[in-house]
Amino acid sequence: MSSLAVLQTGESVQEIQLAPVSRLDLIKYAGASGDFNPIHTIDEEAAKAGLPGIIAHGMWTMGNLAKLFTEYYEEGFVKDYTIRFRGMVFLNDVVTLKATLIEKQGNDLRFDVRAVNQNEKDVLKGEVVYQLY
Amino acid sequence: MFKDQIGKQSEKVKNVVERGAVKKFAEAIGDLHPIYFDEDTGRLSRYGKNIAPPTFPRVFDYGVIEGLHLPNKGLIHGEQSFHYVRPLYVGEEVYCYSQVKNYFEKKGNFGEMGFLVVENVGVDGEGNTIFTSSSTVVISEAVRKVLTK
């Protein structure tokens, strides 16, 4: 396991590429989160909402993105996590999760975080402040 | 149309960070790290127990804000933030409520869009804040028309 404390400004944590988004991923998230908005799981409902297909819950992608930091739990914790949803995630999209250190201020590490799809488009973009103990 | 809701808040609701719910949630976001569910890993960690993923507060019940009626369709989740004082612990009780922080309208590509900002708060048994989270929901003109009918 590596350490966040030794990361230099401009460096990134190991990025993660997710498996293509499946309907089961979204059904599982619906059940685990309690968000049963049908545009995330049922084709007809997505079509009624004017969408070309079901889309992932924004919070599913945001939840996934946070795992870039999970393994460092002994070093600190996610103090601030702010994101803007920039694009929709569809079935079979391949999402890559990235975090780059942009500033160190005392014990606070500020990261630019984003999730990009297979076309290199940001679907979610924001910041994490990781506070070291 | 939501302007008069600003400042309204729900009654606190007691939630428990349930072990099974945390594991299911971690699995659903593909983050099945032992710190979230394995008791030995939790006990040997600096926390002495298991913790929950940062976006886990999505599952809590924040109570009902009286008079705030949101449609369950046609809303767009625009922004989301979490602020933590410390991680959430598996097994602990968290008292949760939400408050309408702001509402404003802006002209966009799809007409006049409404932006509703709701803050969710989780406090411990002594009243200390554990986390706050903020959601910005975008409500299109078309949806607002249906609501005012």
Are B147 and B75 in contact by the 8 Å Cβ rule? The answer is: no
Tokens (6 digits) for B102: 């702001």
pLDDT band at B149 (very low <50, low <70, confident <90, very high): very low
- Can you list the domains of chain A with their CATH numbers? 16-132 (3.10.129.10)
Q: What is the pLDDT of residue B108?
A: 75
Q: What is the pLDDT of residue A43?
A: 96
pLDDT over 60 at A1, yes or no: no
Q: Which of B46, B54, B78 sits opposite A66 (nearest CB)?
A: B54
Partner A contacted by B70 (CB < 8 A):
no
- Can you list the domains of chain B with their CATH numbers? 3-17+61-148 (3.10.129.10)
How far is it, in rounded angstroms, from Cα A8 to Cα A11?
Answer: 6
Q: What is the pLDDT of residue A78?
A: 98
pLDDT over 60 at B7, yes or no: yes
Partner B contacted by A49 (CB < 8 A):
yes
Instruction: Indicate the pTM of the whole model.
Output: 0.94
Run of H or E including A24: helix A23-33
Q: Which of A33, A73, A83 sits opposite B25 (nearest CB)?
A: A33
Cβ within 8 Å, pair A64-B29: yes
Residue owning tokens 């072990």: B19
Cβ neighbourhood burial of A105 (10 Å; 0-12, 13-18, 19+): exposed
pLDDT tens, position by position, B38-73: 999 999 999 999 999 999 999 999 999 998 888 767
Angle ∠(B111,B113,B117) on CA atoms, nearest 5:
175
How far is it, in rounded angstroms, from Cα A59 to Cα B80?
Answer: 9
Tokens (6 digits) for B81: 């933030």
Rounded CA Rg of chain A: 16
Rounded CA Rg of chain B: 18
Are B52 and B27 in contact by the 8 Å Cβ rule? The answer is: no
> In this structure, how many other beta carbons lie within 10 angstroms of the beta carbon of residue B39?
12
Nearest CA in chain B to A87: B78
pLDDT tens, position by position, A20-62: 999 999 999 999 999 999 999 999 999 998 899 999 999 999 9
Are A75 and A105 in contact by the 8 Å Cβ rule? The answer is: no
Run of H or E including A48: helix A43-48
- SS3 at position A117: coil
> Considering only CB atoms, which chain A residues are within 8 Å of B55?
59, 62-63, 66, 81
pLDDT tens, position by position, A107-123: 999 999 999 999 999 99
Residue owning tokens 């659903």: B28
DSSP B23-54: HHHHHHTT---HHHH-HHHHHHSTTSS-B--T
> In this structure, how many other beta carbons lie within 10 angstroms of the beta carbon of residue B147?
14
How far is it, in rounded angstroms, from Cα B130 to Cα B85?
Answer: 5
- SS3 at position A5: coil
